[in-house]
Amino acid sequence: MQTTLVTAEWLKAQSAEEIMIFDATYFLPTMGRDGRSEYNKAHIPGAVFFDIDGIKDEASDLPHMIPPAQHFQDVMQNLGLKAGQQVVVYDNSPFLSSARAWWMLRFFGHQAVAVLDGGGRSWKAVGGTLTDKVFDLPKGTFQTGASAKANVITFDELEQAVRAGLAGQIVDARASDRFAGIAPEPRPGLRAGHIPGSLNLPISNILDNITGKLKPADELSQLFTEAGLEMEQPAVTTCGSGVTAAGLTLALAVLGKTDIRLYDGSWSEWGASDAPIET
């Protein structure tokens, strides 16, 4: 059972009938690109689109908060996911959006899920073909369950901890200029800056800019250390809207660290509130 990363070579050798492949490509609102449109034009054969923007809590005004368990179960069943089936998630995003789908599936109890290291780029690099064929799978048997080491922290919990000086380690995956408050946020109406006391490790820093793969474990460990993270202490990951925070969570899982809570609302929620900020 694969639970963090798989290689394109490994995926190519598997039976398409046994594995569920999700394309979780996602782009920021300012990028002028659309994940579903690109999926419709070309994707790994057999892959089904995992809509990060669509699989969300419809009652929330925030971009893509975790949906209620029943809603997530219904969507996964409708996409054809079977109970216990090995899932491989990939993307063609510049910031590892597949990690968000990986994290959500684990949050709802699906343990057999891994990210394709290097995404669509690595698939093409090993001679993998692409298709525009979209088909419906039979309804799946997926059932939500207890979290598979994927945990969340709410705004109220985090704000109370920050105001009391008890928040511990918070790692922000946004670009350093957004973290510093010197670049505008891609979503309107948000203050600039970061959660007081938080650390910064931009998601782009943990990826190889040639291959798109996660950097080797020793380099990842060094990057987290240089950012100020103490690996033996629990941590919270955050970002702009809960997507790239999952990329940091994935990288930490590769290093064996799972005592992490993801702040789902991230800066979309914190930056729009009256909670304290730093620049």
Q: Give, in words, the CATH class of 5-125.
A: alpha beta
Torsion, Cα 210 204 169 265, to 10 degrees, reads -130
d(C-alpha 90, C-alpha 93), whole Å: 9
* Domain locations along the chain: 5-125, 151-270
Protein fold of 151-270: Oxidized Rhodanese; domain 1 (3.40.250)
Burial class (CB in 10 A: 0-12, 13-18, 19+), 32: exposed
CA distance 26 to 50: 9
* pTM of the complete model: 0.97
pLDDT for 172 equals 98
Q: In the prediction, which pLDDT does 212 show?
A: 96
Q: Tell how far CA 86 is from the center of its chain.
A: 18
From residue 145, alpha-carbon distances to 84, 129, 138, 149 in Å are 11, 35, 21, 12
5-125 and 151-270, same CATH topology: yes
- Consecutive sets of 10 residues in the chain, 279 residues long: mean pLDDT of each? 94 90 93 96 97 96 95 98 98 97 98 98 97 94 95 97 96 97 90 97 97 98 98 97 97 97 97 96
Active-site entry in 239, 245, 251, 253: 239
- Residue 220 has a pLDDT of 98
- Which pLDDT value is given to residue 180? 97
Catalytic, 239? Answer yes
